[in-house]
Structure 1
Amino acid sequence: METIIFIGCNKTGTSVEALTIAKEMGYLIVLFTDRKTSCLPSIDRQIYLKNLFEEEFIFNEIKILKDEGHQIRACISFIDPFVSYAASISNRLGSTNISVNSLSLMENKILVRNKLKEHQSSPFYTTIHENSSLEEFHKNNTPSFPFILKSPNSNGSKDVIFVDGFEKFNNAIHHLQKKNINPILLEEYISGPQYLIEMIVQNNKVFIIAVIEQEVVYDGTFIVEGYLYPAQLETEEYDNLVESVNGIVKQLGLTNGSCHIEMKNTLGGWKLVEINPRMSGGNMNKIIEEGTGINLIKEIIKMHLGKKLSIIPTKHEFVYARYLTIKSSGNLLKIHGKDEALKHTGVKMVDIKVSEGDLLTIPYSMGNRYGCVIALGKSKEEAKANTMKAVKEIRFYLEPL
């Protein structure tokens, strides 16, 4: 019984898709989860564990699986903070040869900045420690506003704060310290269009699967609401991006693994916003598959299994994805317009992630995006227009708090 173990799973998005895709590939699926939820249809065995970092428990369960005849082919995670942890278990089982140290490094944004300090993509950054007073920091540093304060373990835009003055700076520091975030990462604010680069590295070779332009809405936090594939770049811009990405991957020592990078195209060249040791969440697999024909999740699983990748695009489509947020908080009474949205030209997906009775809030992180519409077009303008026509059909009716 060829089996793949997964560590952790969200309610929706990439991590759930991965279970289904691995099942379709013919593997038995075992999920270790800290969520007390019913099994998904694609799972053959679900094992609850309050603390997923209890290695002894996991290896005991793996022994039971082996005694039952399971042949463990890989241990994988598509969610933070279990990516490098799952890869480490997989390597120890002798199943894989994933770059655990590199993936672990990527899980801490300060370590990444330190490792890439001399790389041309690196912006100015520094760290603020709990035992450093604000007065001392002001005395030894002259911050050039605006800049960003963030948790070194931030993901999905959580605990990322835009700062453009001393009062906001002091408030942000106190807010993050109250959440026991220490140290705090301070980064130069980078202006310019932002791009997402999805990639797989196998046997030291970097495969850039997709470059996607992001539409970031700033309203106190940084929420990506729009994704356009393919990104519209001049040949020189793209070549410089590839060179920068390859340099980053090499410096981080990633030889086998997958990741996504966010970068900004500035007057001073490409600058690194952040790198994460997994593919993007949400509906990223659908965006890429509609644009290229490549099922990125499937190829990542194949990389973990040491199999040959199938990453030559079979189609070239313009794709625009728009995520849905709300402007006030409340309990969801009903949703209207999904069926109408699906009837619009070019629409490939209308994905609503919430149900009646759920508490919805204005966006504080990517987790507060409550749906997604994806449509195609013959140009980037047409793809976006098709998507936005469909988006206008959808209404969230809320009971105010």
Structure 2
Amino acid sequence: MAKKALIMVEWSRGNGPLYVQAAQDLGLYPIALAAHPTESDCIAAKGIDVVRVNTDHLDELIRECSRLGEIYDIAGITGFAGDNELVSATVGKLCRHFDLPGPVPESVERCCDKFLQRQLLAEAGVPIPAYRLAANMADVERSAADIGLPVIIKPAAGIGSSGVRLCRNIDELVEHATYLLGGNHIWRSSPRILVEEFAQGPHYVANIMGNEVIAIAAAEFGPPPHFVFRKFTFPAPLTDYQYKGITEVSLSCLRALDLGWGPTCIEIRWTNRGPVVIEVNPRMPGGGDPKMIQLAYGVDLVTEHLKLVIGEERDLRETHSQTVVAWSLLPDRDGIIDSIDGGSRAAAVPGVVEVKLHVKPKMPIIRKGDFRDPIGYVVAVSPSRAESEAILQRAVNLISWSIT
């Protein structure tokens, strides 16, 4: 009998190994289809198949999956956004072609166009920041004048806060718009910029599977003008009123965007007018969030997602309750890593469940102002938030580095 295979389109440094392990635990053989498999050495190290294919071309993916289907019993297809969130739409099209469970590709495509996403949310009455679409500098300046400074400037398509910046005055506005429009930013289509009101207030992330809110995290950023996540707390410290408001507005987003299959993560600010939706992402959260959710709630989102992918029944019941706090290590300058140490000492602190350092001495540091900036992270867990915070602080204080 043919071996049951799971096809994974592209790769994720954070979630990829989790999906490989979950697939193997479910008796599946993982096969990765990647445009640049030499950049995915971590996949090969797991002993799974890695196939080079142009993942931007649906026809090539169909041909490769058909070839694999002659060798394996393809149980399901999933994928990772990487630097292109439309991978989720491509996965949906592959699933439709092979009559497998998957996301609705048209819904994902609408959601990945942030301007269209804004329009659909506004039409449904979902609270969002004021926004304008700009194609040139004159549009940007006019939009900022209409909305009023400070504003957020960001590409209308993108992921991981790439190209997103807070512009507090006209000089910052012109500088960042010039950067985006001047050929420095990589565009997958014609340049389109969103100019948005800066919604101020605590930041939360609702993690959803299907139509069910599983976890809500409190998130904090590093220093402005960029939006690089520095800290996550699961579960977020919320009043019943706030929890209900975030849950209701999150489910309203799913209805407005015709989502509701598989994972979705929704970023929300709690402002003086209540919850305001910043962004809806039709994918599994990155940055180690699935592991933190499992530690905090006992729900394995990756395994439950794969059960959905292969048509098995899910189990999203919460099995325990703990507080997980994670801290990203953010460099304060560009340069060369002189030294970095303390990781093993931090990992030995009771209550610390993971310490990861992404860099080694002599490696260059070039900050991008997005998800690529952290040089490591620390995760702590305990029954209470105060205790988890204390554990995390003790561990982080043991890690030091220098950059020249």
Range 31-40 or range 249-258, more displaced: 31-40
Q: What aligned pairs does 1:311-330 form with structure 2 within 5 A after superposition?
A: 311-330=316-335
Q: CA deviation at 1:333?
A: 4.2
Contact kept? 2:230, 2:329, Cα under 8 Å: yes
Map of 2:31 onto structure 1: 30
Partner deviation per Cα, 1:237-279 (whole Å, 9 max, x = no partner): 2112211111110111113121100001112111011111112
Contact kept? 2:134, 2:143, Cα under 8 Å: no
Partner deviation per Cα, 1:201-228 (whole Å, 9 max, x = no partner): 1xxxx11111000012232201110001
Distance across 2 between alignment mates of 1:78 and 1:299: 16
Map of 2:22 onto structure 1: 21
Contact kept? 1:215, 1:225, Cα under 8 Å: yes
Distance across 2 between alignment mates of 1:97 and 1:134: 38
SS at the partner of 1:157? coil
When residues 283 and 97 of structure 1 are mapped into structure 2, their CA distance, relative to the original with a 3 A threshold, is closer
Q: What amino acid is the match of 2:153?
A: L
Map of 2:73 onto structure 1: 71
Map of 1:348 onto structure 2: 353
Map of 2:138 onto structure 1: 133
SS at the partner of 2:346? helix
**Alignment length (residue pairs):** 390
Contact kept? 2:220, 2:232, Cα under 8 Å: yes
Q: Does 1:189 align with 2:198?
A: yes
Distance across 1 between alignment mates of 2:342 and 2:175: 41
Q: What amino acid is the match of 2:76?
A: A
Q: Does 1:46 align with 2:50?
A: yes
Map of 2:216 onto structure 1: 211
SS at the partner of 2:177? helix
Q: Does 1:115 align with 2:120?
A: yes
Q: What amino acid is the match of 1:256?
A: W
When residues 358 and 22 of structure 1 are mapped into structure 2, their CA distance, relative to the original with a 3 A threshold, is farther
Distance across 1 between alignment mates of 2:164 and 2:32: 31
Q: CA deviation at 1:351?
A: 1.4
When residues 248 and 308 of structure 1 are mapped into structure 2, their CA distance, relative to the original with a 3 A threshold, is same
When residues 71 and 218 of structure 1 are mapped into structure 2, their CA distance, relative to the original with a 3 A threshold, is same
| TM-score of the aligned structures, taking structure 2 as reference length | 0.91
RMSD of equivalent CA atoms: 2.0
| TM-score of the aligned structures, taking structure 1 as reference length | 0.92
Q: What aligned pairs does 1:242-391 form with structure 2 within 5 A after superposition?
A: 242-362=247-367, 364-391=369-396
Partner deviation per Cα, 1:4-59 (whole Å, 9 max, x = no partner): 1111113x20133212321222111111112224443435311113x311223222
1:233 to 212, 235, 238: 238
SS at the partner of 2:80? coil
Distance across 2 between alignment mates of 1:355 and 1:86: 35
Q: What amino acid is the match of 1:34?
A: A
SS at the partner of 1:320? strand
SS at the partner of 2:156? coil
Distance across 1 between alignment mates of 2:334 and 2:282: 32
Distance across 2 between alignment mates of 1:289 and 1:330: 36
Range 373-382 or range 290-299, more displaced: 373-382
Distance across 1 between alignment mates of 2:381 and 2:95: 38
Q: Does 1:153 align with 2:157?
A: yes
Contact kept? 1:321, 1:374, Cα under 8 Å: yes
When residues 313 and 88 of structure 1 are mapped into structure 2, their CA distance, relative to the original with a 3 A threshold, is same
Range 140-149 or range 166-175, more displaced: 140-149
Contact kept? 2:9, 2:91, Cα under 8 Å: yes
Q: What amino acid is the match of 2:15?
A: T
Distance across 2 between alignment mates of 1:111 and 1:102: 11
SS at the partner of 1:291? helix
Q: CA deviation at 1:176?
A: 1.0
When residues 324 and 140 of structure 1 are mapped into structure 2, their CA distance, relative to the original with a 3 A threshold, is closer
Partner deviation per Cα, 1:82-132 (whole Å, 9 max, x = no partner): 1111121112111114222212222221111011113232221111113x6
Q: CA deviation at 1:149?
A: 0.6
Q: CA deviation at 1:139?
A: 9.2
Contact kept? 2:91, 2:103, Cα under 8 Å: no
Contact kept? 1:15, 1:281, Cα under 8 Å: no
Contact kept? 2:351, 2:380, Cα under 8 Å: yes
Contact kept? 1:321, 1:375, Cα under 8 Å: yes
Distance across 1 between alignment mates of 2:112 and 2:47: 27
Range 31-40 or range 230-239, more displaced: 31-40
Contact kept? 2:76, 2:310, Cα under 8 Å: yes
Q: Does 1:198 align with 2:207?
A: yes
Contact kept? 1:263, 1:270, Cα under 8 Å: yes
SS at the partner of 1:116? helix
